[in-house]
Amino acid sequence: MSISGALSSAMQGLRAAGRGSEVIASNLSNALTPGYGVRSLELSADTTATHGGVKIDGVSRLVNESIVHDKRIAEAGQANASAILDLYIKIEDLLGAPDDPASLSAQTAQLEKNLITAASRPDAPERLSTVVASARILANTFNEASDGLQKVRTTADRTIELQVDQLNNALLQVQELNAQITKTQVQGNNSSGLLDLRQRVIDEISVLVPVRTVARDNGQVAIYSTGGAVLLDSLAAEIGFERSNLVTPYMSESAGTLSGLTINGIAFRTGSSSGVLSGGSIAAQFEIRDEIAVEAQAQIDALARDLVERFQDPAVDPGLAIGDAGLFTDEGNFFDPANENGLAQRLVLNAAVDPDQGGETWRLRDGINAAGPGDVGDATLLNNMISALSTGRVSSSGIFSGGSYSTIDLTSTLTSHYGAERLNAEQIQSFSATQVTELTERLLSEGVDSDQELQKLLLVEQAFAANARMVQAVDEMMQTLLRI
């Protein structure tokens, strides 16, 4: 080998060693960076030169796409499960625990207790006032539970708008990154940094919507939801949604009073079981707004209906005619069974017995429609009210239909039902979180191996030293020749 050939080979070796140390340093410094793909320097023999040498072919980015995909699906599931769990915790808070004095069951029990106390001394005005106060609080508790559910639905509607905007922006960002990656690769430059960034953006998308990616030419990718929607293929899709300022019990997507989703102007399903974007955070908000909270409202309405119907029965108060409202009313009116939706929000104590509405408490004892006070010692109506609360009755709607329940049994059944739903949601969320943790650990285990990188660094150091010694030897030979 000629001196010039040896020097050229040594310089190639030094460049390769220098580039190798850069790659190793990048790997070590990004060992825990989300979305970072391990870099590997690709070298080959330089067959174009007569003196041999080493050629740098480029830097490869190594990622286990299968684990990345599984982790994205798991993260979407965790986001979905966490949102659903938060809702069930909220519903439990609205209903209250049995030992909570502000809960529905506790307020119902308190009304029954106060009626028993009043029946023992029907002539005592303060005891009648206590019954009115507890009945008013019970009605307000129903109102607050219903209002809380509608606030949950309104918040979900607002969250959908924010997350749809986030999804649209992320899709446009991936579209731009696709173009940059293609340009970089066509120019023969390293696109690893852009690939890392694109992976992080797609990871963000997958929390909102579970997705799968399909490789396209020149380093580009297409993105599809697992439900079959095309989110990006060359161009990003535009997801459409219109927020409502306030969601009420009477609003729904099927009625056209709440917005669904559109993709490039075409309406798509949003149901939890068949929605094209099902499984992620956006789908969870639709499930909250259109399914779970609506179902919870229906159950509370069914409980309110049972309470109203017990007291508007003429058998409880013989002074009531057909069509007259009882102790609890539908905004002051007789309850129409065809208008059950939203009853809990409209539940009001009858003004005839409520001093705050101009009524008189003695009508609890003498009858809702009584024109004047009767026998102050007659506790018949008060005892009828006690029986109305404690007697088993077949509920007309809700999860209670088919069984015979007292009022306190109904409230306990509803509270237990949502307690069980919350426990089930906790199990699903815990499983999802564990799955994400396991897949994250697997992805990290196939990522940067610090020990291996340090071993590579030792080899690079040795190669650098060997090539540097070759340059030094060539220099010494040149100096010797010049001295001759």
Helices and strands in the chain: count of H runs, count of E runs: 12, 13
Based on its alpha-carbon atoms, the radius of gyration of the chain, rounded to whole angstroms, reads 36
The phi, psi pair for 400, rounded to 5°, reads -90, -15
Query: Cα(303)–Cα(408) distance, rounded to whole angstroms?
Result: 10
pLDDT in tens, 10-32: 787 778 778 778 777 877 777 77
Q: Residue 6 pLDDT > 80, yes or no?
A: no
Spatial CA neighbour of 447 closest among 15, 144, 67, 48: 67
Residue with tokens 């001295």, as numbered in its chain: 483
pLDDT in tens, 259-286: 999 999 999 888 877 788 889 999 999 9
CA 192 distance to own-chain centroid: 32
Residue with tokens 């579970």, as numbered in its chain: 210
Q: Residue 335 pLDDT > 90, yes or no?
A: yes
CA 464 distance to own-chain centroid: 53
Spatial CA neighbour of 142 closest among 322, 292, 25, 303: 303
Query: Cα(29)–Cα(34) distance, rounded to whole angstroms?
Result: 12
Q: Which of 2-11, 47-56, 63-72, 334-343 has the highest mean pLDDT?
A: 334-343
Query: Cα(412)–Cα(195) distance, rounded to whole angstroms?
Result: 55
The predicted pLDDT at position 50 comes to: 64
Q: Residue 369 pLDDT > 80, yes or no?
A: yes
Amino acid making up residue 115: L
Q: Measure the CA angle with vertex 220, ends 219 and 223; round to 5°.
A: 140
Query: Between the CA atoms of 294, 299, 303 and 308, what dihedral angle is there, to the nearest 10 degrees?
Result: 40
pTM for the predicted model, two decimal places: 0.86
Query: Cα(412)–Cα(303) distance, rounded to whole angstroms?
Result: 11
Query: Cα(470)–Cα(475) distance, rounded to whole angstroms?
Result: 9
46 Rama sector, left if φ>0, alpha if ψ -120 to 50, beta otherwise: beta
Spatial CA neighbour of 191 closest among 18, 31, 39: 39
CA 314 distance to own-chain centroid: 47
> What SS3 state is found at 210?
coil
The residues, ordered by sequence, that sit 6+ positions from 303 with a Cβ below 8 Å of its Cβ are: 104, 142, 344, 398, 400, 410, 411, 414
Burial level of 464, CB count in 10 A (0-12/13-18/19+)? middle
Q: Residue 58 pLDDT > 80, yes or no?
A: no
Mean pLDDT, the chain, as a whole number? 89
Note the maximum CA span of the chain: 139
Q: Are 242 and 316 in contact (CB under 8 A)?
A: no
The residues, ordered by sequence, that sit 6+ positions from 226 with a Cβ below 8 Å of its Cβ are: 73, 210, 211, 212, 278, 279
Spatial CA neighbour of 82 closest among 247, 314, 309, 283: 283
Per this entry, what is the length of the chain?
A: 484
- Mean pLDDT value across residues 462-476: 79
Q: Tokens standing for 197? A: 């960034």
- H or E segment and range at residue 387: helix 380-390
How is 171-206 classified by DSSP, letter by letter? HHHHHHHHHHHHHHHHTT---HHHHHHHHHHHHHHH
The predicted pLDDT at position 57 comes to: 66
The predicted pLDDT at position 49 comes to: 61
Q: Are 20 and 188 in contact (CB under 8 A)?
A: no
pLDDT in tens, 189-222: 888 889 989 999 999 999 999 999 999 998 999 9
